[in-house]
Structure 1
Amino acid sequence: MPDAATVTPITTDTSLTRLAEATDTTFVLALFTTLSGKPCAKLVPAAALGQLEADGAGFAGYAAGMMGQQPRDPDLVARPDLASFTPVPFLRPGLALVHCTPYVAGEPWPFAPRAILQRTLERAAERGFTVNVGAEVEYFLVDRDTDGTLGTADRADVSRQPCYDARDVTRMYDHLTEVSAAMNALGWGNYASDHEDANGQFEQNFDYADALTTADRVITARYLLSVIAEKRGMTATFMPKPFADRTGSGMHLHLSLWRAGEPLFPGAGDTHGLGLSPIAYAFLAGLLDHACGLQAVIAPTVNSYKRTGATTTSSGATWSPRYATYGGNDRTHYLRVPDHNRIELRGADGSANPYLAAAAAIAAGLDGIDRGLTPGRPGEGGDRMLPMTLVHAADALDADPVLTAALDIAGPGVAAYFTERKREEFFTWHNTVSAWEIDHYLTAF
C-alpha cells in the first residue's frame, strides 16, 4: 500500500484513476442492475478507467435482461458514480466496484432502476425532504444434493426453532465473520449477525444511510454474500421462499424523512401513542393506501406470494404480513413502528430490487403527505388483505396512478413494461405442471 501521505481521499471531485491508484485497485467492476435486480457488470482494468469515466461502459440492454430494450436498440452506456466507488480487495486482490447509471443516446435511461430512485429523491428534495433508509438483508445458505434436492448448507442446522441459536451461529462463524469484516472495512457499520427463524437462514445488519447509498449497499451486500458463500461451497440465496415449510426471507425497509439534518418523524403527544409526528402518520398512511400495488414492486416474483400467503411454518410463525395494517413494536403488521424515529415496511422480500422498492415506497409515503392522509388507529384495517399472487399485485399496480407515475418518473412506459413482464412471469409459472397437481389429480377422476 502507498504510505498515508500519498493516499488520495475518496471524494467526488477526484477521478476513477486517482481512486484506483490510492487504493491499489487494478480492476473495477462497472455495475448496474436490471429491473429484476440482476447485477450486470464489465470488468475494467485500471489503465482504462479514464475511458470508463469519459465514455461509460457499453452494454447490449436486451441481452442484460429486463431493461426495456429489444435487440435492435442502441447500447446502454453505464456511467459511473464516483461517490459509490468501493474497493473489495478481501474478495480479490486489487478489485473494486463502482455503481453506474445507464444512459441511452446521452440521456438517463428511464428503465434504469438507479435513475428511477435518483429522480424520486430529487422530487423529495423539492419538498425539502431527505430520505434515509435502512435495509435488512435476509438470506439462506444452501447447497444441492446430486439429485438436485435443495438442502441447508449446514446439515446440523435442524432444530425446530433455530432462531438466534448460538450453536448454529458458531458453526457458520467463518462465513459470518468474513462478511462482517467486509462490511466494516467498507464503513457500513455492521452491528450484528444472527441466525434467523428458518434453518439455514441468516441476517447481517448494517447502519442506515441515505436512500441511494443504502440501495447501492444492498446490491453490493448480495454480491459480497454470494461470492463469500461460494468460496465455502455454499449458495447464498435471496429467494423469498426456497423451502415450503420454513419462514421466507424478507428485505424489511426502515424509512425516515429528514429536513436540514433534523428528523421529521418524532412527535410528542399524538393520539395513537407511537410517538410519531403528523407528517410521519401521513407518510405511513400513504404506504397503507398503496400497499396492494406496492407489493408488485417490493415482492416482485411468483415465489414472493408463497411467503406472504403462508399461514404456518415449521417454527410456528411466518413473520410475514398478510394484511395492510400498522402497529407499534409488533412484528405481525405490514408496517411496524419500532420507535419514533422510523417506520419499518415488512412487505418487501429478498427478490426486490432495492432501487425500485425504495422509490415506490417513498412515492407512496409522499402521496400520503400531499393528501393529508391519516391511518386510523393502530391495528385497524385487518380486512385489507394483500394480493394473493403476483398477477393480483400486478393488477393492483396497474390500477394505482401514483405508483405507475413513480415507475415512470424518469420517462414513460416503465410501469406498463414492468407489469406486463410480471404477468408473463406469473403465467409462465402457471402453465407448468407441478408435482402437487400430479399427486392430487392423476387418479382422482
Structure 2
Amino acid sequence: MTNIAELGEARRAQALAAPESATLSPPTLRELAEADGVRFILAVFVDLNGKPCAKLVPTAAADQLEAGALGFAGFAAGLIGQQPQDPDLIAIPDLTSYVPIPFVKEGLGIVHCDPHVNGEPWPYAPRVILKNAISDLARRNLQAKVGAEVEYFLVHRDDAGAISTADRRDDGARTCYDARGVTRMYDHLTAVSDAMNSLGWGNYANDHEDAAGQFEQNFAYDDALITADRVVTLRYLISVLAEQRGMTATFMPKPFANRAGSGLHFHLSLWADDAPVFPDDRDRRGLGLSPTAYAFIGGILAHASGLQAFLAPSVNSYKRRGASTSASGATWSPKKATYGGNDRTHFIRVPDEKRIELRAGDGSANPYLAIAATISAGLDGLDQAIDPGDPCGPGESRATSAVLPQTLLHAVEALRRDRVLLDSFGIEHPVGEYFAQAKEDEFLTWHNTVTDWEINSYLTAY
C-alpha cells in the first residue's frame, strides 16, 4: 500500500513551519490536496460530546474553506455552546492535520478545524479548549506527549434494535488475545492497521480485548493535539471501515451488561527542551519518577472525582464503572483514585519511569476535553506541589483514596465543586458550567425513562 505520509511531504513541511528566509509562501490546502489527487475534503470538528461534524468540500473550493467562508449552524451541530439565533461557527482548517484517506473513498481527504465566531476561536469548541491547555503548559516551558488506547466492539443490530457480536463464533467468557477471533476479523483489523500506517501513525498492535466482540488497535504517542486529532480520525475510520463490511463499530462504554466495557486509556508524559521530565533515578519511592511527576500525579488524583465528568461523560459510563465483575472475571475499571506501579487496577498506573497511564477514561470520552482537563488537574498539582503519597501496592488503596463517582450525576456534582477544573475551561465564557448542566440534563433524561428493569421489578410488586 502506498505510504500516504510520504506524498507531498515537502509541501506539508512548509505548512508546519516557514523559515524567515523563505521566499515562497506555505502551500495552501488546495495545493496540498491537489498534490495528493484529493477531490473532496472532509472539514471536521467535534462538539463537546465528541460527535464528529463535517462538511464535504470540493478541493476546488478549498481556498474558500481556508479563507473562513464555511459556516455551520452551531446549535444544529450539537453541544457546542450555541442557540439557534447565534452567528455561524466558521470552521478554520488546521493544515498540519490534513491527510488524504483514499482507503475510505478514493479522492477523499480530511482536515481538522477550529471553530471561530466573529473572527475569534470559539471557547466552547473542544479543540480550542485543548489548545488553551497546551498553551498553559508552554508558559511553563512544558509540552505534553500523549498516547491513547482505543477500545471498541464490532456488533450487528437486528430489526428490533437488539445487538449481538458481529462474529457469531466470538462468544466465549475469556476471549482476550484470542488468536482465532483476531484471524476471523483479519480483513477489518488489517484494513484499519494499513490505514493508520499509511498515515504515518505507527500502528504497532491489533488485538482482541477482554470481552467477546471487543478489539483494540494501537498507534504511537505524539504531541497532545496530534493524538487527540488521531483518536477522532481513528473512530471515524473504524466506524466507516466496519460499515463497509456490514458491521457496526461502537465505542459505547458498556454495550453488554455481562461483559467488560470499552476504555479509552491515556498515556501521558511531560517534556521540556525535547527531553522527558518524569524520569529520576534518585526516586526513593521505587517508581523512578521525579518530583515533577509526583506533583503532576498528585494533581490528577486530587481532582479525580471532577475529572470523571470528562473521562466518563455518559450515563452508560457508570454501568461500566459500577460493575462488580464481568464474564472474564474482571472489569478493568478503577473505582478509587489510587496510583501504583505496573498494576492495571489503579486509577493511575505507572508502567515505567517515562509516563503514566490514566485508566479511568472510557469509550464515550471526548479526547480533547479529557486530555485538557487532565493537564489542568496535573498543572494544579505542580502549582500546589501536591504530594500523592507513596504508591499503593497491587490492588491496594488507602482510607484517604477518593471513591470515584457512582453515576454521571455524582460526577457532575463533583465537577461543580471543583473550581480549578471549571475555571480552567474559561471564566469569561463558563464552558465548565455549561458542560456540567448539559450532563445533568442528560442524566435526568435517562432517569425519567421507564425501563424494562422497572417494569419487571415493580409492575406487580405492591
Bin for the TM-score computed over the shorter chain: over 0.9
Deviation at 1:145, TM superposition (A): 2.1
Q: TM-score with structure 1 length normalisation?
A: 0.97
Deviation at 1:6, TM superposition (A): 8.2
Which of 310, 320, 323 is the matching residue for 1:310?
A: 323
What CA distance in whole angstroms lies between the structure 1 residues aligned with 2:187 and 2:8?
34
Secondary structure in structure 2 of the residue aligned to 1:280? helix
Deviation at 1:57, TM superposition (A): 1.6
Deviation at 1:147, TM superposition (A): 2.5
Task: Give CA deviations for 1:52-91 in whole Å, capped at 9, x if unaligned.
Answer: 1112420000000101111000000010000000110111
Deviation at 1:17, TM superposition (A): 1.1
What CA distance in whole angstroms lies between the structure 2 residues aligned with 1:6 and 1:41?
24
Distance 1:7 1:101, change over 3 A: closer
User: Is 1:124 the counterpart of 2:124 in the alignment?
Assistant: no
Deviation at 1:209, TM superposition (A): 0.3
Task: Give CA deviations for 1:348-394 in whole Å, capped at 9, x if unaligned.
Answer: 11101100000000000111011111111112435421000001100
Secondary structure in structure 1 of the residue aligned to 2:267? strand
What CA distance in whole angstroms lies between the structure 1 residues aligned with 2:146 and 2:70?
29
Which of 30, 44, 53 is the matching residue for 2:57?
A: 44
Task: Give CA deviations for 1:401-426 in whole Å, capped at 9, x if unaligned.
Answer: 110012227x5221111000000000
Write the mapping of 1:393-404 to structure 2, written as runs, cut at 5 A.
393-404=411-422
Deviation at 1:444, TM superposition (A): 1.0
Which of 180, 186, 191 is the matching residue for 2:193?
A: 180
Q: Quick one: which amino acid aligns to residue 406 of structure 1? A: S
What CA distance in whole angstroms lies between the structure 2 residues aligned with 1:408 and 1:352?
20
What CA distance in whole angstroms lies between the structure 1 residues aligned with 2:318 and 2:68?
42
Q: Give the length in aligned residue pairs.
A: 442
Does structure 1 conserve the Cα–Cα contact (< 8 Å) formed by 2:8 and 2:32?
no
What CA distance in whole angstroms lies between the structure 1 residues aligned with 2:71 and 2:369?
23
User: Is 1:268 the counterpart of 2:268 in the alignment?
Assistant: no
Moved more, 372-381 or 288-297: 372-381
Distance 1:232 1:6, change over 3 A: closer
Does structure 1 conserve the Cα–Cα contact (< 8 Å) formed by 2:7 and 2:36?
no
User: Is 1:73 the counterpart of 2:86 in the alignment?
Assistant: yes
User: Is 1:143 the counterpart of 2:166 in the alignment?
Assistant: no
Task: Give CA deviations for 1:20-78 in whole Å, capped at 9, x if unaligned.
Answer: 11110100001000000000000000110111111242000000010111100000001
Secondary structure in structure 1 of the residue aligned to 2:42? strand
Task: Give CA deviations for 1:208-262 in whole Å, capped at 9, x if unaligned.
Answer: 0000000000000000000000001101100000011110100000010000100
Secondary structure in structure 2 of the residue aligned to 1:137? strand
Aligned to 1:362: 375
What CA distance in whole angstroms lies between the structure 2 residues aligned with 1:237 and 1:256?
29
User: Is 1:438 the counterpart of 2:451 in the alignment?
Assistant: no
User: Is 1:389 the counterpart of 2:407 in the alignment?
Assistant: yes
Aligned to 1:329: 342
Does structure 1 conserve the Cα–Cα contact (< 8 Å) formed by 2:43 and 2:113?
yes
Q: Quick one: which amino acid aligns to residue 314 of structure 1? A: A
Does structure 2 conserve the Cα–Cα contact (< 8 Å) formed by 1:8 and 1:19?
no
User: Is 1:412 the counterpart of 2:429 in the alignment?
Assistant: yes
Q: Quick one: which amino acid aligns to residue 166 of structure 1? A: A
Deviation at 1:5, TM superposition (A): 11
Does structure 2 conserve the Cα–Cα contact (< 8 Å) formed by 1:264 and 1:280?
yes
Distance 1:56 1:358, change over 3 A: farther
Deviation at 1:142, TM superposition (A): 0.6
Does structure 1 conserve the Cα–Cα contact (< 8 Å) formed by 2:104 and 2:240?
yes
Which of 99, 116, 128 is the matching residue for 1:86?
A: 99
What CA distance in whole angstroms lies between the structure 2 residues aligned with 1:433 and 1:17?
52
What CA distance in whole angstroms lies between the structure 2 residues aligned with 1:147 and 1:21?
45
Which of 9, 12, 19 is the matching residue for 2:32?
A: 19
Aligned to 1:111: 124
What CA distance in whole angstroms lies between the structure 1 residues aligned with 2:213 and 2:426?
38
Secondary structure in structure 2 of the residue aligned to 1:282? helix
What CA distance in whole angstroms lies between the structure 1 residues aligned with 2:398 and 2:28?
52
Q: Quick one: which amino acid aligns to residue 78 of structure 1? A: A
What CA distance in whole angstroms lies between the structure 1 residues aligned with 2:9 and 2:271?
34
Does structure 2 conserve the Cα–Cα contact (< 8 Å) formed by 1:164 and 1:194?
yes
Which of 16, 20, 28 is the matching residue for 2:41?
A: 28
Secondary structure in structure 2 of the residue aligned to 1:360? helix
Does structure 2 conserve the Cα–Cα contact (< 8 Å) formed by 1:56 and 1:80?
no
Deviation at 1:8, TM superposition (A): 5.1
User: Is 1:254 the counterpart of 2:267 in the alignment?
Assistant: yes
Aligned to 2:19: none
Secondary structure in structure 1 of the residue aligned to 2:240? helix
What CA distance in whole angstroms lies between the structure 1 residues aligned with 2:36 and 2:207?
31
What CA distance in whole angstroms lies between the structure 2 residues aligned with 1:167 and 1:302?
33
Does structure 2 conserve the Cα–Cα contact (< 8 Å) formed by 1:321 and 1:333?
yes
Moved more, 47-56 or 184-193: 47-56
Q: Percent identity at matched positions?
A: 62
Consecutive unaligned residues of structure 2, counting only runs of 5 or more, are 16-25
Task: Give CA deviations for 1:88-125 in whole Å, capped at 9, x if unaligned.
Answer: 01110110000000000000001000000001101100
Deviation at 1:160, TM superposition (A): 1.2
Deviation at 1:270, TM superposition (A): 1.4
Aligned to 1:9: 11
Distance 1:56 1:291, change over 3 A: farther
Secondary structure in structure 1 of the residue aligned to 2:335? coil
Task: Give CA deviations for 1:319-362 in whole Å, capped at 9, x if unaligned.
Answer: 01000000100000000001111010001111011000000000
Distance 1:105 1:333, change over 3 A: same
Secondary structure in structure 1 of the residue aligned to 2:11? coil
What CA distance in whole angstroms lies between the structure 2 residues aligned with 1:166 and 1:7?
37
What CA distance in whole angstroms lies between the structure 1 residues aligned with 2:8 and 2:403?
59
Moved more, 256-265 or 370-379: 370-379
Aligned to 1:422: 439
